[in-house]
Amino acid sequence: MSNKEEIAGLDMDKLLHRFGGNREAALKILRSFVVNTKQLIEAAKTLSKESLNDYAVTVHGIKGSSWGIFAEATGNQAGNLEKAAKEGNFEYVSANNSLFLEATWKLVRDIEDMLDGMKTEKAKPKKDKPDDALLSKLRAACEAYDSDEADALMAELEGFEYESGAELVAWLSDNVELMNFMEIVEKLADS
């Protein structure tokens, strides 16, 4: 990855190496990290002595995904908070949670900004709205739990800039990443 794509706290070279130099695979993992980590950050905001076990599970998820993309400092912070939560050390967790979430949110935003910047570098052809035939095929792929086909169809849908329906495509993209296939089927059935 180029120097322009450097993000503090993330070792892009190691990430790219993990995927054998396959830039698209590395970017797909980063997109997935953004979507999933946003939800985990929201869950980790709710903190009480009674919720320490749930909190430990949540930061465990952040730890694993951070280490998976070589955001080791974030992963290590999450690991320390997970350990403290498992030990019932509410004081440590409550004293360090806000800074951890702030730093993790910054990492997510930085990755998101990089990914968005990459999208705008390539001017997309414009369309009035998402193609009904593609949406129908996506619905069928989701009904069949065919993630490869769903990914391919999303790539095709995301290849355009839409005058209307862009929010639907963004929602579909996030939910394909999360493999929320039944939610996609329901959403496309309603549209």
pLDDT tens-digit series, residues 135-183: 999 999 999 999 889 988 988 898 888 888 888 998 998 899 888 999 9
Last residue of a domain, one of 71, 95, 121: 121
Of 121, 146, 178, which one is at a domain's C-terminal end? 121
Q: Which of 84-98, 116-130, 168-182 has the lowest mean pLDDT?
A: 116-130
Cβ atoms of residues 1 and 27 within 8 Å: no
Q: Are residues 130 and 48 in the same domain?
A: no
Q: Do residues 64 and 33 lie in contact, with contact meaning Cβ atoms separated by under 8 Å? A: no
The confidence band for 123, taking pLDDT boundaries of 50, 70 and 90, is low
Interval 110-115 mean pLDDT: 91
Question: Residue 47 belongs to what H/E stretch?
Answer: none
**Residues 63 and 82 placed together within one structural domain of the fold:** yes
User: Considering its fold, how many domains does the chain have in total?
Assistant: 2
Band (pLDDT 50/70/90 cuts) for residue 122 is low
Question: What does the pLDDT average to over 16-21?
Answer: 85
